[in-house]
Homo-oligomer: A and B are copies of this chain.
């Protein structure tokens, strides 16, 4: 039995979920808030284990400052809730089908009513924290909930649960290492598949096969973002998805992907040149590699995220390079459309102090006019140097 299998035993997780919910309640109490409405699917998974592709419909975990949390899903998904969430069945509720996609009624009216009935949402004057910038919590949901709780003051949770996720438990570190094994395999397949004449879609076909397969011991899970494969001219921009055009000799492709195990993500990026790279690309790769070395060297407990950013930008500045966007972000559980935790960024304006158990994707995208270079590492902060979660050769890959 692998570490990940051992630590993912439901009973272990139930206890951990209860501890996490208790921490949420502690924060609510310290803020003088009466309840939190959790809608981010990664936060639902973190707090209860609930895991299904049901987040395109309204769903929520209702956490009162005292008492028990309740999960409300679409009726057809409530049964799935019983399979994955560690909450007891009587705390999982399903709203009826006829609330779906209507202009006259909204599922959040049902959620608000049931929440009050079971004591998970306040009935009178209260302060209610909401995930106001989460994916999958729409303004219409927000307005419907507010209308049903007219005495409640609605405030932003400011990513309360996301911030609790930043430092990983031992269980989670084992899952991240397992995801890293999937990443190494998927990136190896990706680099091997990038050949002149191969259609972009066929390279992605190989990568996705590797991502789902995982390893013989560990199943792969779906990534929050599909493989990114900007190539040739489009390598100057990061988020275009593949087309059916073949790769051309003499061009470079950047590939960004994640290995995933049980929703834990370890992303990685590499750049592959088909044929000898132009001097500008080779030089940028070298400077970026030196910058990465310095950034990793700065990732020690007690350093700040701004220190890490400074170590990188100082190094590449010597080569006449600069980078405006952040050079990384906190990672862990991910659901589409993003595998970032939406908390810590590695940038000049962020002063988070690094602590063992934090995990980051250090991603160095150097996007130029009509070309680009990208490389990255996913790392775990330890007492010593950061641990590479998906160790693979660094630097520009050149195929003959």
- CA gap between A271 and B97 in the complex, in Å: 23
A102, chain B: closest CB distance, angstroms: 8
Is A110's CB within 8 Å of the partner chain B? Answer: no
Of B132, B240, B243, the residue contacting A219 (CB under 8 A) is B243
Is A237's CB within 8 Å of the partner chain B? Answer: yes
Chain B residues contacting A338 (CB-CB under 8 Å) are: 56
Q: Are A205 and B201 in contact (CB under 8 A)?
A: no
Is A141's CB within 8 Å of the partner chain B? Answer: yes
Is A290's CB within 8 Å of the partner chain B? Answer: no
Q: Are B135 and A237 in contact (CB under 8 A)?
A: no
A52, chain B: closest CB distance, angstroms: 4
Chain B residues contacting A205 (CB-CB under 8 Å) are: 208-213, 220
Number of A residues whose C-beta is below 8 Å from B? 83
Binds B, one of A164-172, A221-229, A292-300, A354-362: A221-229
- CA gap between A345 and B233 in the complex, in Å: 42
Q: Are B143 and A138 in contact (CB under 8 A)?
A: no
Is A264's CB within 8 Å of the partner chain B? Answer: no
Of B100, B140, B345, the residue contacting A132 (CB under 8 A) is B140
Of all chain B residues, which has the CB nearest A223?
B226
| A338-379, CB < 8 A from B | 338, 342-343, 345, 347, 349, 365, 367
Binds B, one of A75-83, A277-285, A313-321: A75-83
Chain B residues contacting A158 (CB-CB under 8 Å) are: 103
Chain B residues contacting A211 (CB-CB under 8 Å) are: 205, 208
**Which residues on A are within 8 Å of B, measured CB to CB?**
51-56, 75-77, 79-80, 83-84, 96-98, 100-103, 106, 130, 132-143, 156, 158, 199-202, 204-206, 208-214, 218-222, 225-226, 228, 233-234, 236-244, 324-326, 329, 336-338, 342-343, 345, 347, 349, 365, 367
List the 10 closest A-B pairs by CB distance, nearest first. A219-B244, A201-B219, A80-B237, A139-B142, A56-B337, A205-B212, A56-B338, A208-B208, A79-B237, A132-B140
**Additional A-B contacts beyond A96-B324, A209-B209, A219-B242 (9; CB < 8 A):** A53-B239, A77-B239, A80-B238, A83-B240, A132-B138, A138-B139, A201-B212, A205-B209, A221-B242
